[in-house]
Amino acid sequence: MRDHHPTLLITGFGPFPGYPQNASGLLAQAVADRAARCLPGCRVRVAILPTEWIAGPQQLAQLDAEFRPAIAVHFGISRRARGFVIECRARNIAARMADAVGALPPGGCIAPNGPETLSSTLPAARILVRLRRLGVPAALSQDAGSYLCNAILYHSLAAARKDASRRGFIHVPPGLLNGMAHCQLDWDGALAGGLEIVRACLGWRHARRQRS
């Protein structure tokens, strides 16, 4: 039976080397605040995950155990992103790159006995169409990288295999906060698009873009 009061988990990341202010964390909080106001009946939870190989997945597991979300939307930043980038899969790989506390991943993969890839369970194609219809730049991607964004997506999708929840990852440009020239997404567009992503996951009808 369909849950008419689903729990929605929205996450972003905290600071990490080179990015003392992480746009994904601010966007996650802003989208969650707006979703709580605009989507009656939806239980919204938000968290800023530490950009750490150990603590990040641990906190996600704690959130899953506490809230059992029907939908989880994770935001992160990517220098390659010009608008919203909807990640379609996670890879079982972990780059030898230091996290926010200077630690390296325990090994070269995320789960030694896990599958090589896991596919997003969000309606990626539907999200893409709705974002473009809203006038917000968006694209699909098959490569979430090999850093913490990919790791969180992999762990989240592993959880989705157990509870059939809808989970996925969205990259946004780091220049979202300062209007860098190559960034095609402004803050208003990011906020409107973030809410539209949530609406698409919930199966709500398309909304017109509103400036805040």
| Residue 38 backbone dihedrals phi, psi, to 5 degrees | -100, -15
Q: Is 66 a catalytic residue?
A: no
Query: Which element (helix H / strand E) includes 23?
Result: helix 23-38
Choose the catalytic residue: 74, 87, 88, 183: 87
Angle, vertex CA 204, rays to CA 198 and CA 206, nearest 5: 90
Q: Is 149 a catalytic residue?
A: yes
Choose the catalytic residue: 171, 183, 196, 201: 171
Q: Is 38 a catalytic residue?
A: no
CB atoms within 10 A of CB 94: 21
Choose the catalytic residue: 149, 155, 183, 196: 149
Report residue 43 as tokens: 């239980």
Instruction: Compute the chain's Rg from CA coordinates.
Output: 16
- Residues serving a catalytic function are 87, 149, 171
